[in-house]
């Protein structure tokens, strides 16, 4: 969606976090870090057969790969993807809830997911609450950087037939009322200053967003998708 007069809005953000096996489960590995992990470290051999994730062609993970590409270049990204693929406990599939489910079942020790799913599962069915209780969230960072953030955003196109109402919707989505919904109902990080992060999300630790510009990530998405296919990550 583009146009010279497009009006952008960002309404909420999600960290690409790493759920790990909780100390409350009997198969917890001593190699699993307690609080800190770098995205680069996911390629380390110690995670061989221990990592679960949804498909890397999914937009959540493509954005992460694009950020990695901007930071490290194509050759290093291809090598990272190959080594992370070698650490998979299963073929990439399902969603972020399935990552927590598989950790709870002992299929894997760590996984990639957006933090807000932990909140949704914690207030979901009895089965999903068990999945949430089985994991502990780590907010990983890039080496020398911060945590990768996925954002919820929208724009009004140049020739939108109902532009005024669309603008009103975007303005509402960034209002105090709506931002509280993002924080306390969907467990996202609000973007409006002064809106408190939900206590559960705050318990995951201090979020230190990576400073990379979203425009740089967007420009690298197509190449990131190409590299994911190149290494056959999802096959």
Measure CA 22 to chain center.
Answer: 19
Which CATH code for domain 9-148+206-230?
A: 3.40.190.10
Pairing of strands 135-138, 7-21: antiparallel
| 204-229 per-position pLDDT tens digit | 999 999 999 999 999 999 999 999 99
What number of other Cβ atoms are within 10 A of residue 71's Cβ? 19
Calculate the CA dihedral of residues 52, 54, 56, 58 and round it to 10 degrees: -160
Domain ranges (residues) in the chain: 9-148+206-230
pLDDT in tens, 88-143: 999 999 999 999 999 999 999 999 999 999 999 999 999 999 999 999 999 999 99
Q: How many helices (H) and strands (E) does the chain have?
A: 9, 7
d(CA 67, CA 200): 27
- Decide: pTM greater than 0.75: yes
Nearby residues of 95 by Cβ (< 8 Å), 6 or more positions away: 54, 117
Q: Maximum CA pair distance of the chain?
A: 58
């Amino acid at each position: 969606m583009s146009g010279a007069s497009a009006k952008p809005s960002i309404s909420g953000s999600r960290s690409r976090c790493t759920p790990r096996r909780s100390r409350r489960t009997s198969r917890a590995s001593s190699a699993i870090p307690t609080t800190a992990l770098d995205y680069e470290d996911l390629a380390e051999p110690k995670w061989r057969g221990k990592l679960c994730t949804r498909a890397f062609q999914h937009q959540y993970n493509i954005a992460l790969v694009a950020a990695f590409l901007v930071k490290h270049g194509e050759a290093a990204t291809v090598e990272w993807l190959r080594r992370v693929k070698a650490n998979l406990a299963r073929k990439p599939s399902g969603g972020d809830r399935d990552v927590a489910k598989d950790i709870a079942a002992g299929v894997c020790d760590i996984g990639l997911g957006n933090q807000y799913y932990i909140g949704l599962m914690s207030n979901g069915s009895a089965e999903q609450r068990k999945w949430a209780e089985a994991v502990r969230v780590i907010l990983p960072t890039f080496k020398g950087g911060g945590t990768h953030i996925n954002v919820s955003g929208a724009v009004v196109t140049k020739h939108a037939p109902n532009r005024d109402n669309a603008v009103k919707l975007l303005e509402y989505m960034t209002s105090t009322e709506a931002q509280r919904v993002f924080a306390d109902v969907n467990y996202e990080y609000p973007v409006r200053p002064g809106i408190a992060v939900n206590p559960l999300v705050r318990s995951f630790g201090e979020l230190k967003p990576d400073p990379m510009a979203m425009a740089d990530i967007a420009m690298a998405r197509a190449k990131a998708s190409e590299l994911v296919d190149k290494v056959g990550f999802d096959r």
